[in-house]
Amino acid sequence: MSKCLITGGAGFIGSHLTEKLLEDGHEVTVLDNFSTGRPDNLAHVAGHPRLTRLTGSITDQVLLTEAVRGQDIIYHLAAAVGVKLVADDPVRTIETNIYPTEWLLKLATQTGCRFFLASTSEVYGKNPNECWDEDEDLHFGPTSKPRWAYGCSKAIDEFLALAYHAKYGLPIVIGRFFNVVGPRQVGNYGMVIPRFVDQAMNGGPVIVYDDGQQVRCFAHVKEVIRCIDELVRSDEAVGRIFNIGSDRPVTIHELAKTVISKVDSSVDVNFREYTEAYGNDFEDVRRRVPNVDRLQKTLGWKPSLTLSEILDDIIEWKRSSEQAN
Ligand code: UDP
C-alpha cells in the first residue's frame, strides 16, 4: 500500500487514476480546485475510506505543503489545460503550470517521494517528422503566438523535473500524453471525440476543421492511467521521458465518419476553417503520432485498444449518463 497525492484528481484523467489507485488498495489524496475538474467525476468514490479530498488551488503553497506531507508518490496532473484556454490567459498559465510544479518538486525533494509529471505531445510543437520519439527536437512557433504557451509551459516543467532529478536525485518520471480519450471527457476545451459524439447524437452536423486530413492517435484513458502508475513505480523509468498513447493513426475525417456510423446516425459532415473556431493566430498540428517503443520496452506492453473499442465505450457511457439525467 502506498500513500498517493494526485493533483488534478477530479479531472478527466485524474479521476480515473484516483479510482484505479483506490481499487489497488492505496491511500489517495486528491487536490483539485474544480476549475476544469468536476465533483461528478469523483461521485462514485466519494466517501471512500481511503480517499482524502482537498479542495483548493495548486497555487496555494500552504495547502501544497500540507498535501505532500507523508506521501510516497505524487502524480502531478493539475494544470491549466485546453490550448485555447491557456492562450487566452497567459499569466494564469504561468501561475498554474509553472510555479506550482517547482514548489511540488522542492517539497518532493524534502520528503523523498516519487514524482510523476504529466506532460503533453504539445511539447513537440510543429515538429514535421512522421512519428515523434522522446529525443526529437521541440519546434514551437513564435512566442508572439500565445497558442504555443501551453506547450512551452509544459516543456519548462519537464526541464524543472529533470533538473531536480539531476541535482538532487529526485525519482521523477515524465509522461507526454497523446490524445487521451474516454468516458467523462467533455468537449468544452476542444477535445474532438466528445464533440463529434455529441454532434452525431444530437442531429449534427459533425464539424471537421480544415480538410480533415490532420492525423491523431487516440488512447483509452484506462490504458493511459495504467501506464502512468506502472512507470512511476518502475526503477527503469526514473529520470526519463515517455510518450504515452496509442501509435495507430487516423485522420479526423475518418474519425468523423466512424463516429457517425457507430452512433447509427446519418448526420452530415461539415468542413470549416480552423480559424473560424480558434482565431487567426491559431495553428493546428497536422500530424501527431508517437513512437512508443520506449514505453513498450519499459513496461512490456503498450496501449492497444482500437479506435472502434474506444468509441464503443465512450458512446455507451454517454448514453447511460444521458439516461441517468
Ligand atoms: N477538431 C475538429 N472538430 C472539432 C474539434 C477538433 O475537426 O470540433 C480537430 C482539430 O482541428 C484537430 C483534431 O480535431 O486537428 C484534434 O483536436 P483536439 O483538440 O481533440 O486535440 P489536439 O489538437 O490537441 O491534438
pTM score > 0.90 for this model?
Answer: yes
Compute the distance from residue 40 Cα to the ligand 1 centre, in Å.
25
CA 243 to CA 236: how far, in whole Å?
15
Q: pLDDT value at position 179?
A: 97
Cβ–Cβ < 8 Å for 177, 244? yes
Query: What is the CATH number that goes with domain 3-180+218-244?
Result: 3.40.50.720
Q: Which residues pair with 208 in a beta bridge?
A: 271
Rounded to the nearest integer, the mean pLDDT of the chain is 94
Which residues form the pocket of ligand 1, taking CB atoms under 6 Å from any ligand atom?
83, 179, 190-192, 195, 207-209, 214, 216, 252, 274, 284-285, 288
Q: Which of 277, 274, 268 is nearest to 200 (CA)?
A: 268
Compute the distance from residue 249 Cα to the ligand 1 centre, in Å.
14
Cβ neighbours, 10 Å, residue 114? 21
Q: pLDDT value at position 190?
A: 81
CA 278 to CA 138: how far, in whole Å?
23
CA 191 to CA 86: how far, in whole Å?
14
Cβ–Cβ < 8 Å for 26, 1? yes
Q: Where are the domains of the chain?
A: 3-180+218-244, 182-216+248-288+300-324
Ranges of residues in the chain whose predicted pLDDT is under 50: none
Give the model confidence (pLDDT) of 198-214 as tens digits: 999 999 899 999 999 99
Give the model confidence (pLDDT) of 279-310 as tens digits: 777 888 999 999 999 999 999 999 999 999 99
Cβ–Cβ < 8 Å for 64, 100? yes
Cβ-Cβ contacts under 8 Å for 142 (sequence gap 6 or more): 148
Cβ–Cβ < 8 Å for 252, 191? no
Under DSSP, is residue 249 helix (H, G, I), strand (E, B) or coil? Answer: coil
Cβ neighbours, 10 Å, residue 244? 28
* CATH class of domain segment(s) 182-216+248-288+300-324: alpha beta
Catalytic, 150? Answer: yes
Q: pLDDT value at position 133?
A: 97
Q: pLDDT value at position 39?
A: 82
ipTM reported for the complex, 2 dp: 0.98
CA 37 to CA 14: how far, in whole Å?
9
